[in-house]
A and B are shown apart, each in its own frame.
Chain A
Amino acid sequence: GQQVMQIPQYQHVQEGEDFTTYCNSSTTLSNIQWYKQRPGGHPVFLIQLVKSGEVKKQKRLTFQFGEAKKNSSLHITATQTTDVGTYFCAGLEPLGGATNKLIFGTGTLLAVQP
């Protein structure tokens, strides 16, 4: 079935270093959402991208949606210990008519060493 691949699975950085996680779909997506799950917590919505080539920023976080609407990335500049957690992308796949399916990526676990 349809999959959304996310890489890397795990990333360990020193505090202050940058971090990027990538999300790839084999099919065109209607939109893509990003969620963050703190250790021991639940996924929390961060942002949604809808347009081809769209770029959005939230402070040190930059989100991009590819031109073909098949891939996305999340870049964190100058990581802080508060950035620790698992980042999930979730692609909305159109199935025809008004029907869509939200497919989660496998997630990237970010560890930040002070």
Chain B
Amino acid sequence: EAQVTQNPRYLITVTGKKLTVTCSQNMNHEYMSWYRQDPGLGLRQIYYSMNVEVTDKGDVPEGYKVSRKEKRNFPLILESPSPNQTSLYFCASSLIPRGANVLTFGAGSRLTVL
């Protein structure tokens, strides 16, 4: 089944403890992106990648890192999480870069930073 898989789905952590949210897609998509969803703010883009080894900042990149060493994987790294990074995170991918094609979203990762 064609899908985007995120892990973990739920995570409670403490301020400053590094964590990684993994994202993997099995559709051979070139474009991958991370979003965070907060009440009243919709979906805001954190980082995106147009292909392997090509990543760029979205609208809210502060406090996050990403890497794209393989086409299928696009992990989101929080080096030193803070409470304002408590949010619902979605990974998404599409066949054509820059969202000209439709996005397929993962199931989401709910992160709480205490």
Contacts and interface: CB of A to CB of B under 8 A. Distances in A.
Contact of B103 (A41, A99, A102, A105): A102
A48 B42 contact: no
A99 B98 contact: yes
B99 A101 contact: yes
A34 B51 CA distance: 25
Contacts of B103: 33, 35, 43, 45, 90, 102
B75 interface: no
Contacts, number: 53
A48 B99 CA distance: 11
B11 interface: no
Contacts of B90: 42-43
Nearest to B41: A106
A102 B42 contact: no
A28 interface: no
Contact of B102 (A41, A45, A98, A104): A45
Interface residues of B, number: 20
Contacts of B108: 41-42
Contacts of B45: 102
Nearest to B101: A48
Nearest to A45: B102
Contact of B40 (A30, A43, A44, A106): A106
B108 to A, nearest CB: 5
Interface string A75-91: 00000000000001010
Interface of B: 35, 40-45, 59, 90, 92, 98-100, 102-108
19 contacts: A1-B59, A30-B100, A31-B100, A42-B108, A43-B105, A44-B105, A45-B102, A45-B103, A48-B102, A90-B103, A92-B98, A92-B100, A99-B98, A100-B98, A100-B99, A101-B99, A104-B43, A106-B41, A107-B43
